[in-house]
Amino acid sequence: MTWIKSIKAIQVLDSRGLPTISCKVSLGCGVQASAMVPSGASTGTKEALELRDGDELYMGKGVDKAVANINDIIAPLLINLDPRDQKLIDQKLVNLDGTSDKSSLGANAILAVSLAVSHAAAKNKKIPLHIHFADIYKDITGHQVSPNLPMPMLNILNGGEHADNNIDIQEFMIIPKRASNMKEAMRWSSEIYWNLKSILKSEKLSTAVGDEGGFAPNLQSNEDAIKLILRAIEDSKLIPGKDVFIALDCAASEFFKDGQYLLSGEGRSLNSESFADYLEHLVDNYPIISIEDGMDENDHNGWKILTEKIGHKCQLVGDDLFVTNKVIFKNGIDEGLANSILIKFNQIGSITETVETIHLANTNNYKSIISHRSGETEDTTIADLAVGLGAGQIKTGAPCRSDRVAKYNRLLWIEEENIELNISK
């Protein structure tokens, strides 16, 4: 029997220089472990609440209240409990909060503790975190998963809310699909990233980067962004549509106004049907195999149109649409919306609920993609989560900036230390 001896949180800074929470858990056996929570910018409206102070400090974005909630309210409740029982810990946290959106204690406070406890438990068990996550999945669902290395989706060109350029689509990602392992996937991605930088320079375009480390030049159209990436793939002596594919995150809720999709960078305004046609045109003309949030989170009719139109030939990922919430996700499955789900544990606020949502995807033939947030830290928990649950895909930004590459670097070590794991295709 091991037990939680103390829990302590402090306010630290994230990759945008804004406050977030770092939480440390100490066990009776002497083990200590900590974790930090990420933060989104283009958030779904139904996400669990991220508690911010709202006072004059840090433009209202301080997290002192959430930190105090951990130190003064949560910590006393969890002392003496077994950290290996993640389900029980998370249940206690959820019950203590008592709201459906975690607005009482804050999802950031609850998640910080949930994550730090999982790290401490893995250390106590003397096993890597990804193996502990596979154990947690079994505890919670009664089912065994097959761990594997996720295929990365790397965001190398940023627009929307994550950059100050004129591109409406938020993320243009590369998927190094034919790479035989993580090492090769990262080499290809780095080479493509650097070749893209050279192309941008030669075209006298900006090589400044957005929040997720991708370049953020001003361009004529979304299609121009795709063409630049194709050139960068070819310059890397790789074949688009064979070795490397493209994925988009439209984050369409950000430019959906009064029933219209406003592509201000292109000076166009499209209704749901026409925007679905626009996306179909992209899928038919470029090696695009995944589109996230192709419609606004409340435009379910648009989602139906899009799913019927291209769901058979393209992965359609619900991010703002499902917000990692199993109730919202279940309704979406019943309505036939999308065919995949983006998994962000801070959208729901605990490991247990995240695992339950992934299980729902697994049992309904939806793919899960484990994801970072645009505001990140050096915390690498999502890399272990993706491996341990055999999710198959991860998106965690460009192969650049430490907050992004920390996760890829963790995957490289997991690959090195687990020769039996293959990269998911």
d(CA 156, CA 295): 22
d(CA 394, CA 404): 12
CB of 293 vs Zn ion, minimal distance in Å: 5
Of 291, 174, 183, 180, which Cα lies nearest the Cα of 234?
174
Measured from the CB atom, is 40 or 265 closer to ligand PGA? 40
Q: Which residues contact ligand PGA by CB under 6 A? A: 40-43, 249, 251, 319, 371, 373-374
Residues that are catalytic: 212, 344
CB of 290 vs Zn ion, minimal distance in Å: 11
d(CA 213, CA 187): 16
CB of 31 vs Zn ion, minimal distance in Å: 35
Measured from the CB atom, is 22 or 371 closer to Zn ion? 371
Determine which helix (DSSP H) or strand (DSSP E) holds 409, and give its type and residue range: helix 402-417
Q: Which residues contact Zn ion by CB under 5 A? A: 249, 292, 319
d(CA 48, CA 50): 7
Partner that binds at residue 353, options Zn ion, ligand PGA, none, CB closer than 5 to 8 Å by kind = none
Q: What angle do CA 159, 226, 179 make, to 5 degrees?
A: 105
CB of 2 vs Zn ion, minimal distance in Å: 38
Residue nearest to Zn ion (CB): 319
Partner that binds at residue 415, options Zn ion, ligand PGA, none, CB closer than 5 to 8 Å by kind = none
Distance separating the N- and C-terminal Cα atoms of the chain: 40
The answer to whether residues 18 and 375 touch, using CB atoms and an 8 Å cutoff, is yes
Measured from the CB atom, is 26 or 298 closer to ligand PGA? 298
d(CA 46, CA 28): 38
The tokens for 5 are 């001896």
d(CA 270, CA 263): 8
Measured from the CB atom, is 31 or 247 closer to ligand PGA? 247
* Phi, psi dihedral angles at 120 (to 5 degrees): -65, -40
Measured from the CB atom, is 249 or 379 closer to Zn ion? 249
Strands 340-343 and 256-257: unpaired
Of 34, 95, 47, which Cα lies nearest the Cα of 371?
47
Alpha helices in 221-342 (DSSP H): 222-235, 272-285, 300-310, 326-335
Partner that binds at residue 40, options Zn ion, ligand PGA, none, CB closer than 5 to 8 Å by kind = ligand PGA
Q: What is the DSSP string of 318-358?
A: ESTTTTT-HHHHHHHHHHT--SEEEE-HHHH-SHHHHHHHH
Measured from the CB atom, is 20 or 371 closer to ligand PGA? 371
CB of 167 vs ligand PGA, minimal distance in Å: 14
* Phi, psi dihedral angles at 132 (to 5 degrees): -60, -40
CB of 271 vs Zn ion, minimal distance in Å: 22
Distances (CA, A) of 206 to 15, 157, 200, 210: 21, 11, 7, 11
Measured from the CB atom, is 165 or 195 closer to ligand PGA? 165
CB of 249 vs Zn ion, minimal distance in Å: 4
CB of 371 vs ligand PGA, minimal distance in Å: 6
Strands 260-263 and 268-270: antiparallel
Measured from the CB atom, is 292 or 376 closer to Zn ion? 292
d(CA 20, CA 17): 9
